Protein backbone atom coordinates (compact mmCIF):
# COMPACT_ATOMS: atom_id res chain seq x y z
CA UNK A 1 0.00 0.00 0.00
CA UNK A 2 2.88 2.36 0.84
CA UNK A 3 4.42 1.66 -2.54
CA UNK A 4 1.09 2.50 -4.21
CA UNK A 5 0.84 5.78 -2.23
CA UNK A 6 4.40 6.64 -3.25
CA UNK A 7 3.53 5.89 -6.87
CA UNK A 8 0.54 8.25 -6.72
CA UNK A 9 2.63 11.00 -5.08
CA UNK A 10 5.15 10.71 -7.88
CA UNK A 11 2.27 11.28 -10.28
CA UNK A 12 1.26 14.37 -8.34
CA UNK A 13 -1.94 12.83 -7.01
CA UNK A 14 -3.07 13.97 -3.55
CA UNK A 15 -3.94 11.51 -0.79
CA UNK A 16 -7.61 12.52 -0.89
CA UNK A 17 -7.85 11.96 -4.63
CA UNK A 18 -5.97 8.69 -4.29
CA UNK A 19 -8.50 7.54 -1.70
CA UNK A 20 -11.35 8.47 -4.03
CA UNK A 21 -9.77 6.54 -6.89
CA UNK A 22 -9.37 3.45 -4.72
CA UNK A 23 -12.98 3.63 -3.49
CA UNK A 24 -14.31 4.11 -7.02
CA UNK A 25 -12.26 1.13 -8.19
CA UNK A 26 -13.71 -0.96 -5.36
CA UNK A 27 -17.25 0.05 -6.38
CA UNK A 28 -16.60 -0.87 -10.03
CA UNK A 29 -15.13 -4.24 -9.06
CA UNK A 30 -18.09 -4.85 -6.75
CA UNK A 31 -20.52 -4.14 -9.62
CA UNK A 32 -18.76 -6.66 -11.85
CA UNK A 33 -18.73 -9.30 -9.09
CA UNK A 34 -22.40 -8.79 -8.16
CA UNK A 35 -23.50 -9.03 -11.81
CA UNK A 36 -21.46 -12.23 -12.23
CA UNK A 37 -23.08 -13.69 -9.10
CA UNK A 38 -26.56 -12.80 -10.36
CA UNK A 39 -25.85 -14.39 -13.73
CA UNK A 40 -24.59 -17.54 -11.99
CA UNK A 41 -27.66 -17.73 -9.73
CA UNK A 42 -30.04 -17.35 -12.67
CA UNK A 43 -28.19 -20.00 -14.69
CA UNK A 44 -28.21 -22.35 -11.70
CA UNK A 45 -31.95 -21.80 -11.19
CA UNK A 46 -32.61 -22.66 -14.84
CA UNK A 47 -30.60 -25.89 -14.52
CA UNK A 48 -32.77 -26.78 -11.51
CA UNK A 49 -35.95 -26.42 -13.56
CA UNK A 50 -36.76 -22.71 -13.57
CA UNK A 51 -38.12 -21.26 -16.80
CA UNK A 52 -35.18 -20.16 -18.93
CA UNK A 53 -37.21 -17.26 -20.35
CA UNK A 54 -36.90 -15.45 -16.98
CA UNK A 55 -33.15 -14.98 -17.29
CA UNK A 56 -33.00 -12.09 -19.83
CA UNK A 57 -35.63 -9.98 -18.08
CA UNK A 58 -34.45 -10.53 -14.50
CA UNK A 59 -30.82 -9.97 -15.46
CA UNK A 60 -31.75 -6.71 -17.19
CA UNK A 61 -33.73 -5.48 -14.19
CA UNK A 62 -30.97 -6.34 -11.71
CA UNK A 63 -28.32 -4.83 -13.99
CA UNK A 64 -30.08 -1.47 -14.29
CA UNK A 65 -30.68 -1.34 -10.53
CA UNK A 66 -27.04 -2.16 -9.74
CA UNK A 67 -25.74 0.38 -12.25
CA UNK A 68 -27.89 3.11 -10.71
CA UNK A 69 -26.78 2.24 -7.16
CA UNK A 70 -23.15 2.09 -8.31
CA UNK A 71 -23.42 5.48 -10.01
CA UNK A 72 -24.89 7.06 -6.87
CA UNK A 73 -22.09 5.55 -4.76
CA UNK A 74 -19.43 6.94 -7.10
CA UNK A 75 -21.03 10.38 -7.05
CA UNK A 76 -21.13 10.24 -3.25
CA UNK A 77 -17.42 9.35 -3.17
CA UNK A 78 -16.71 12.37 -5.36
CA UNK A 79 -18.51 14.58 -2.88
CA UNK A 80 -21.63 15.20 -4.93
CA UNK A 81 -24.84 15.74 -2.95
CA UNK A 82 -26.67 12.56 -3.93
CA UNK A 83 -29.81 13.52 -2.00
CA UNK A 84 -30.46 16.28 -4.50
CA UNK A 85 -29.70 13.96 -7.37
CA UNK A 86 -32.14 11.36 -6.03
CA UNK A 87 -34.82 14.06 -5.88
CA UNK A 88 -34.09 15.11 -9.44
CA UNK A 89 -34.09 11.49 -10.59
CA UNK A 90 -37.44 10.97 -8.88
CA UNK A 91 -38.99 13.98 -10.62
CA UNK A 92 -37.43 13.00 -13.94
CA UNK A 93 -38.67 9.43 -13.51
CA UNK A 94 -42.22 10.71 -13.02
CA UNK A 95 -42.02 12.84 -16.16
CA UNK A 96 -40.44 10.04 -18.15
CA UNK A 97 -42.99 7.59 -16.78
CA UNK A 98 -45.86 9.72 -18.06
CA UNK A 99 -44.20 10.12 -21.44
CA UNK A 100 -43.25 6.45 -21.73
CA UNK A 101 -46.21 4.83 -20.02
CA UNK A 102 -46.55 2.24 -22.79
CA UNK A 103 -42.89 1.28 -22.45
CA UNK A 104 -43.16 1.00 -18.67
CA UNK A 105 -46.34 -1.00 -19.19
CA UNK A 106 -44.33 -3.47 -21.26
CA UNK A 107 -41.82 -3.84 -18.42
CA UNK A 108 -44.59 -4.41 -15.85
CA UNK A 109 -46.32 -6.87 -18.19
CA UNK A 110 -43.07 -8.77 -18.68
CA UNK A 111 -42.62 -9.13 -14.92
CA UNK A 112 -46.20 -10.39 -14.52
CA UNK A 113 -45.78 -12.86 -17.39
CA UNK A 114 -42.66 -14.29 -15.77
CA UNK A 115 -44.07 -14.63 -12.28
CA UNK A 116 -47.54 -15.91 -13.23
CA UNK A 117 -46.18 -18.31 -15.88
CA UNK A 118 -48.96 -18.48 -18.50
CA UNK A 119 -46.24 -19.99 -20.69
CA UNK A 120 -42.62 -21.13 -20.58
CA UNK A 121 -39.79 -21.21 -23.10
CA UNK A 122 -40.53 -23.62 -25.99
CA UNK A 123 -44.31 -23.60 -25.34
CA UNK A 124 -46.47 -23.15 -28.43
CA UNK A 125 -49.04 -20.42 -27.81
CA UNK A 126 -51.74 -18.43 -29.54
CA UNK A 127 -52.55 -14.87 -28.46
CA UNK A 128 -54.83 -12.92 -30.77
CA UNK A 129 -53.14 -12.97 -34.17
CA UNK A 130 -49.86 -14.21 -32.66
CA UNK A 131 -48.93 -17.87 -32.96
CA UNK A 132 -45.58 -19.47 -32.30
CA UNK A 133 -43.10 -21.15 -29.98
CA UNK A 134 -41.84 -18.98 -27.12
CA UNK A 135 -38.15 -18.08 -27.33
CA UNK A 136 -37.95 -15.70 -24.38
CA UNK A 137 -39.42 -12.76 -22.49
CA UNK A 138 -37.28 -9.62 -22.58
CA UNK A 139 -37.50 -6.32 -20.77
CA UNK A 140 -39.88 -4.84 -23.34
CA UNK A 141 -40.94 -7.62 -25.68
CA UNK A 142 -41.57 -11.34 -26.05
CA UNK A 143 -40.02 -13.26 -28.94
CA UNK A 144 -41.56 -16.23 -30.72
CA UNK A 145 -40.77 -18.47 -33.68
CA UNK A 146 -43.73 -19.30 -35.92
CA UNK A 147 -44.35 -22.76 -37.38
CA UNK A 148 -42.89 -21.63 -40.70
CA UNK A 149 -39.72 -20.35 -39.02
CA UNK A 150 -40.51 -16.63 -38.88
CA UNK A 151 -39.11 -14.49 -36.05
CA UNK A 152 -41.92 -12.69 -34.21
CA UNK A 153 -41.42 -9.93 -31.64
CA UNK A 154 -44.43 -8.67 -29.69
CA UNK A 155 -44.74 -6.07 -26.89
CA UNK A 156 -45.18 -7.71 -23.49
CA UNK A 157 -48.36 -5.70 -22.91
CA UNK A 158 -49.93 -7.28 -26.00
CA UNK A 159 -49.60 -10.76 -24.52
CA UNK A 160 -50.54 -9.72 -20.99
CA UNK A 161 -53.64 -7.85 -22.17
CA UNK A 162 -55.09 -10.65 -24.32
CA UNK A 163 -56.27 -14.23 -23.68
CA UNK A 164 -53.44 -16.73 -24.16
CA UNK A 165 -54.01 -20.25 -25.47
CA UNK A 166 -51.10 -22.48 -24.45
CA UNK A 167 -51.12 -25.62 -26.60
CA UNK A 168 -48.14 -27.13 -24.78
CA UNK A 169 -49.13 -26.62 -21.13
CA UNK A 170 -51.15 -29.81 -20.58
CA UNK A 171 -49.53 -33.20 -21.20
CA UNK A 172 -52.57 -34.54 -23.07
CA UNK A 173 -54.90 -33.08 -25.68
CA UNK A 174 -58.18 -34.08 -27.27
CA UNK A 175 -58.22 -34.86 -30.98
CA UNK A 176 -61.53 -34.47 -32.85
CA UNK A 177 -61.97 -35.51 -36.48
CA UNK A 178 -65.18 -35.37 -38.49
CA UNK A 179 -65.83 -37.36 -41.69
CA UNK A 180 -68.82 -36.92 -43.97
CA UNK A 181 -70.20 -40.19 -45.35
CA UNK A 182 -72.92 -40.84 -47.91
CA UNK A 183 -76.51 -41.07 -46.68
CA UNK A 184 -76.70 -44.49 -48.34
CA UNK A 185 -73.88 -45.84 -46.13
CA UNK A 186 -74.25 -47.11 -42.57
CA UNK A 187 -73.11 -44.65 -39.91
CA UNK A 188 -72.84 -47.54 -37.45
CA UNK A 189 -70.49 -49.41 -39.78
CA UNK A 190 -68.35 -46.30 -40.24
CA UNK A 191 -68.02 -45.82 -36.48
CA UNK A 192 -67.13 -49.49 -35.99
CA UNK A 193 -64.37 -49.24 -38.60
CA UNK A 194 -62.91 -46.19 -36.85
CA UNK A 195 -63.10 -48.04 -33.53
CA UNK A 196 -61.08 -50.93 -34.96
CA UNK A 197 -58.32 -48.53 -35.95
CA UNK A 198 -58.26 -46.88 -32.53
CA UNK A 199 -58.40 -50.08 -30.48
CA UNK A 200 -55.15 -51.33 -32.03
CA UNK A 201 -53.24 -48.07 -31.52
CA UNK A 202 -51.03 -47.88 -28.39
CA UNK A 203 -50.65 -44.10 -28.84
CA UNK A 204 -54.35 -43.53 -28.11
CA UNK A 205 -55.00 -42.95 -24.41
CA UNK A 206 -57.59 -45.21 -22.78
CA UNK A 207 -58.70 -42.59 -20.27
CA UNK A 208 -60.69 -40.59 -21.23
CA UNK A 209 -62.12 -43.31 -23.42
CA UNK A 210 -62.35 -42.83 -27.19
CA UNK A 211 -65.76 -41.79 -28.52
CA UNK A 212 -67.47 -42.28 -31.89
CA UNK A 213 -70.74 -40.54 -32.76
CA UNK A 214 -72.88 -38.86 -35.39
CA UNK A 215 -72.55 -35.10 -34.95
CA UNK A 216 -74.63 -33.65 -37.77
CA UNK A 217 -76.82 -34.38 -40.79
CA UNK A 218 -75.36 -32.19 -43.49
CA UNK A 219 -76.85 -31.30 -46.89
CA UNK A 220 -75.01 -34.07 -48.71
CA UNK A 221 -73.46 -36.22 -45.99
CA UNK A 222 -73.75 -37.65 -42.49
CA UNK A 223 -70.99 -36.35 -40.20
CA UNK A 224 -69.42 -39.14 -38.12
CA UNK A 225 -66.89 -38.09 -35.51
CA UNK A 226 -63.83 -39.68 -33.98
CA UNK A 227 -62.76 -38.29 -30.58
CA UNK A 228 -59.61 -39.51 -28.87
CA UNK A 229 -57.08 -38.25 -26.32
CA UNK A 230 -53.37 -38.28 -27.17
CA UNK A 231 -50.09 -36.98 -25.78
CA UNK A 232 -49.70 -33.32 -26.68
CA UNK A 233 -46.28 -33.94 -28.24
CA UNK A 234 -47.89 -36.39 -30.71
CA UNK A 235 -51.03 -34.38 -31.50
CA UNK A 236 -50.22 -33.31 -35.06
CA UNK A 237 -48.69 -36.65 -36.01
CA UNK A 238 -51.81 -38.44 -34.75
CA UNK A 239 -54.11 -36.02 -36.54
CA UNK A 240 -52.39 -36.58 -39.88
CA UNK A 241 -52.24 -40.32 -39.30
CA UNK A 242 -55.96 -40.73 -38.63
CA UNK A 243 -57.01 -38.47 -41.49
CA UNK A 244 -55.12 -40.83 -43.78
CA UNK A 245 -56.03 -44.14 -42.12
CA UNK A 246 -59.76 -43.46 -41.84
CA UNK A 247 -59.95 -42.38 -45.49
CA UNK A 248 -58.11 -45.53 -46.59
CA UNK A 249 -60.27 -47.79 -44.36
CA UNK A 250 -63.50 -46.27 -45.70
CA UNK A 251 -62.25 -46.88 -49.26
CA UNK A 252 -61.48 -50.53 -48.40
CA UNK A 253 -64.94 -51.28 -46.95
CA UNK A 254 -66.91 -49.30 -49.53
CA UNK A 255 -67.92 -46.29 -47.43
CA UNK A 256 -67.91 -43.21 -49.63
CA UNK A 257 -67.18 -39.60 -48.75
CA UNK A 258 -69.46 -37.64 -51.11
CA UNK A 259 -68.88 -34.34 -52.81
CA UNK A 260 -71.22 -31.49 -51.82
CA UNK A 261 -74.36 -31.72 -53.94
CA UNK A 262 -77.78 -30.13 -54.33
CA UNK A 263 -81.03 -31.55 -55.63
CA UNK A 264 -82.69 -29.04 -57.95
CA UNK A 265 -86.36 -29.40 -58.90
CA UNK A 266 -87.40 -27.59 -62.09
CA UNK A 267 -91.08 -26.80 -62.20
CA UNK A 268 -92.63 -25.95 -65.55
CA UNK A 269 -95.20 -23.21 -65.38
CA UNK A 270 -98.52 -23.78 -67.01
Sequence-separated (6 or more) residues with CB below 8 Å from residue 46: 52, 54, 55
Q: Is residue 262 part of a domain?
A: no
What is the model's pLDDT at position 20? 74
Mark whether 82 and 147 lie in a shared domain.
no
Q: Is residue 147 part of a domain?
A: yes
Of 100 and 21, which is predicted with more confidence? 21
Please give the average per-residue pLDDT across 53-60, as a whole number: 70
What is the model's pLDDT at position 27? 85
Question: Residue 125 belongs to what domain range?
Answer: 111-166
Residue 261 binned pLDDT confidence (cut-offs 50, 70, 90) = low
Per the structure, the count of domains in the chain is 3
Spatial CA neighbour of 227 closest among 187, 176, 180? 176
Q: What number of helices (H) and strands (E) belong to the chain? A: 8, 8
Give residue-wise pLDDT tens across range 4-46: 566 556 655 556 666 777 788 888 888 888 888 888 877 776 6
Q: Which of 91-100, 168-177, 181-190, 191-200 has the lowest mean pLDDT?
A: 91-100
Residue where a domain stops, chosen among 78, 99, 120: 99
Helix or strand (DSSP H, E) at 96: helix 82-99
Q: Is residue 261 part of a domain?
A: no
Mark whether 88 and 6 lie in a shared domain.
yes
Rounded-to-integer distance, Cα 241 and Cα 80, Å: 72
Q: Is residue 268 part of a domain?
A: no
In the predicted model, what is the mean pLDDT of the chain? 83
Mark whether 148 and 185 lie in a shared domain.
no
Mark whether 160 and 73 lie in a shared domain.
no
Q: Is residue 267 part of a domain?
A: no
Mark whether 72 and 136 lie in a shared domain.
no
Of 90 and 155, which is predicted with more confidence? 155
List the CATH number of the domain containing 223: 3.30.70.100
Would you say the pTM of this structure is higher than 0.75?
Answer: no
Mark whether 7 and 66 lie in a shared domain.
yes
Q: Is residue 269 part of a domain?
A: no
Residue where a domain stops, chosen among 48, 75, 99: 99
Please give the average per-residue pLDDT across 85-110, as a whole number: 67
Q: Is residue 68 part of a domain?
A: yes
232 DSSP assignment: G
What is the model's pLDDT at position 91? 64
Please give the average per-residue pLDDT across 93-117, as a whole number: 71
Residue where a domain stops, chosen among 99, 121, 151: 99
List the CATH number of the domain containing 12: 1.10.287
Mark whether 82 and 46 lie in a shared domain.
yes
Give residue-wise pLDDT tens across range 115-169: 788 888 889 999 988 999 999 888 788 999 999 999 999 999 889 889 999 999 9
Amino acid sequence: MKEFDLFLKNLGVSNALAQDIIEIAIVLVAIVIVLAIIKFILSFAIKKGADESVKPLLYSLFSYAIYIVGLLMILHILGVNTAGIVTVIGAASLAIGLALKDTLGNIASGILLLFLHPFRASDYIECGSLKGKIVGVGLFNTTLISLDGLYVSAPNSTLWGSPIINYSRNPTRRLDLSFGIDYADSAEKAMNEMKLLVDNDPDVLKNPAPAFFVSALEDSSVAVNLRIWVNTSKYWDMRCKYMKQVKERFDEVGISIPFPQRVVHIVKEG
